């Protein structure tokens, strides 16, 4: 905890282990060469994404991560399950961040459905944050399953800045009630 010595004292927990995103990559007992390669790539991608979430947010979630060659790209659900298919192009941090957004509720939670109205996010926190970056009048677009900008829906959207903003906008959407 941190003491600010203010007369209106507030305590803030500074132990990063209190609220963290964690993950487990599930592996076969006797993996093939393909599986070993996939596990290494997936672990690196998800590890980088989790590190980014933990550095920027106080979100708590455990992710269960799988390699499933039958998945065309990657997929995730609200329960924290993420699966990556055989295509190595999707075994990268940007895809992991995008899928983590789904585990947090983007596109698949009642809170998301309640705030995504007529193609626009109506939550005030995420909207205000977006407008600090993109100007007054900027709109967080949404549909039945995705957000943009900063939704990391395609690899041409991937950049360090977009990764940071994706995490920040997801946290703001959660504070909006997603």
**Token output for 39:** 């596990």
Task: Provide the 3-class DSSP secondary structure of residue 5.
Answer: coil
Tokens linked to 162: 């977009």
| 21-25 and 61-67 beta bridge pairing | parallel
**Would you kindly state where each structural domain of the chain is located, as residue ranges?**
21-175
Alpha-carbon distance of 123 to 174, in angstroms, equals 9
Q: What's the predicted TM-score (pTM) here?
A: 0.90
Q: What is the pLDDT of residue 10?
A: 42
Tens of pLDDT, residue by residue over 46-70, are: 999 999 999 999 999 999 999 999 9
| Cα four-point dihedral sign 105, 108, 113, 119 | positive
**Helix runs in the chain, H state only:** 33-56, 93-104, 110-115, 124-134, 160-175
What pLDDT, on a 0 to 100 scale, did the predictor assign at position 19? 75
Q: What is the pLDDT of residue 4?
A: 44
> How confident is residue 130, by pLDDT bands cut at 50, 70 and 90?
very high
């Amino acid at each position: 905890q941190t003491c600010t010595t203010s007369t209106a004292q507030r305590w803030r927990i500074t132990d990063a282990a209190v609220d963290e995103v964690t993950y487990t990559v599930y592996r076969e007992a006797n993996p093939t060469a393909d599986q070993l390669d996939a596990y290494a790539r997936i672990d690196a991608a998800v590890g980088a994404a989790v590190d980014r979430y933990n550095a920027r947010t106080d979100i708590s979630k455990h992710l269960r991560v799988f390699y499933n060659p039958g998945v065309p790209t990657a997929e995730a659900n609200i329960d924290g399950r993420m699966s990556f298919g055989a295509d190595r192009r999707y075994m990268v941090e940007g895809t992991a961040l995008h899928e983590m957004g789904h585990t947090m509720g983007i596109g698949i939670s009642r809170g998301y459905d309640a705030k995504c109205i007529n193609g626009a996010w109506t939550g005030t926190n995420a909207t205000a944050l977006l407008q600090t970056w993109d100007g007054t009048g900027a709109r967080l677009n949404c549909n039945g399953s995705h957000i943009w900008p900063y939704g990391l829906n395609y690899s041409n959207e991937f950049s360090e800045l977009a990764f940071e903003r994706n995490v920040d906008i997801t946290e703001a959407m959660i504070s909006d009630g997603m």
